[in-house]
Structure 1
Amino acid sequence: MAVALLLLTIALVIVVALLAAAGAAKLARLDGATWPTALTRAAVAFTAVITLAAAVTAALSPFLT
């Protein structure tokens, strides 16, 4: 059961990160940015969401074990 919950949580974080990246790229394109710039902003947004999830996991791990 714990493994299934872990995999579901990882999948949810990845989906949220992809949605944030897609939104950042779309907003960059609407702002008039070129494709490489929009992809860079999407990559930064994706990385930020993954980093935030890792930081929250590290902060909460003493309480969960």
Structure 2
Amino acid sequence: MAIVLLSIVLVTVVALLAAVGAGKLARMDGATYPAAPPRAATTFAAVPTLATTTAAALATVRT
């Protein structure tokens, strides 16, 4: 149970860091303040999706 909770926290932290980075890069690329948060939100949503897909693939290979 502890491993599952630590994994969830780790994925959330990585997603937040990636979202902040995407927002910063969007601003450096010349995006306006209203245009940057959707880019960050897309990145935030993509990280857990990628983690879930990877975990499912690894679970399939493991069994």
Superposed pair shares fold, TM > 0.5: yes
Q: TM-score, normalised by structure 1?
A: 0.86
Higher helix share: 1
Give the aligned partner of residue 43 of structure 2. Answer: 45
Q: Deviation at 1:56? A: 0.6
SS of the equivalent of 1:36 reads coil
Q: Deviation at 1:36? A: 2.0
Listed as ranges, the gaps of 5+ residues in structure 1 are none
Q: Deviation at 1:32? A: 1.4
Give the aligned partner of residue 28 of structure 2. Answer: 30
Give the aligned partner of residue 15 of structure 1. Answer: 13
RMSD: 1.2
Tell me which amino acid in the other structure corresponds to 1:43. Answer: A
Separation (CA, whole Å) in 1 of partners of 2:34 and 2:46: 18
Listed as ranges, the gaps of 5+ residues in structure 2 are none
Q: TM-score, normalised by structure 2?
A: 0.89
